[in-house]
Structure 1
Amino acid sequence: MSYSVLFVCLGNICRSPMAEAVFRDLVGKAGLSGKISIDSAGTGDWHIGKPPHEGTRELLDRYSISYEGMKARQLSTRDGGDFDLIVAMDTKNEQDIREKLGANSRAKVIRFLSLLPEKGIDDVPDPYYTGNFDEVYELVKAGCEKLLSRIKEEL
Structure 2
Amino acid sequence: MEKQKILFVCLGNICRSPMAEYVFRHQTAQLGLSDRLTVASAGTSGWHNGENMHQGTLKKLKQQGIDPMGFTSSQVQTGDADTYDYIIAMDDNNLAELERLFGRQPDKIFKLTDLIPESGYTYVPDPWHTGNFDETFRLVSAGSQALLEKLTSVK
TM-score of the superposed pair, with normalisation by structure 2 = 0.95
- The offset of 1:77, in angstroms, is 1.1
- The offset of 1:120, in angstroms, is 2.2
Map 1:113-124; keep pairs closer than 5 Å: 113-124=113-124
Structure 2: distance between partners of 1:102 and 1:114: 18
**Deviates further, 20-29 or 61-70:** 61-70
- The offset of 1:102, in angstroms, is 3.3
3-state SS of the aligned residue for 2:35? Answer: coil
Aligned AA (1:129): H
Map 1:5-154; keep pairs closer than 5 Å: 5-102=6-103, 108-154=108-154
Structure 2: distance between partners of 1:81 and 1:69: 24
3-state SS of the aligned residue for 2:61? Answer: helix
Identity across aligned pairs (percent)?
Answer: 42
Structure 1: distance between partners of 2:136 and 2:142: 10
Structure 2: distance between partners of 1:27 and 1:148: 8
Q: Report if the CA contact (8 A) 1:5-1:83 is conserved.
A: yes
Structure 2: distance between partners of 1:114 and 1:102: 18
Matched residue count: 154
Pairwise CA RMSD of aligned residues?
1.5
Structure 1: distance between partners of 2:38 and 2:132: 28
Structure 2: distance between partners of 1:29 and 1:60: 15
* Consecutive aligned runs of 4 or more in structure 1 exceeding 4 Å deviation: none
- The offset of 1:66, in angstroms, is 1.6
Segments of 5+ residues of structure 1 without an aligned counterpart are none
Structure 2: distance between partners of 1:142 and 1:2: 22
**Deviates further, 93-102 or 5-14:** 93-102
Segments of 5+ residues of structure 2 without an aligned counterpart are none
3-state SS of the aligned residue for 1:34? Answer: helix
Structure 2: distance between partners of 1:66 and 1:91: 29
Structure 1: distance between partners of 2:142 and 2:40: 18
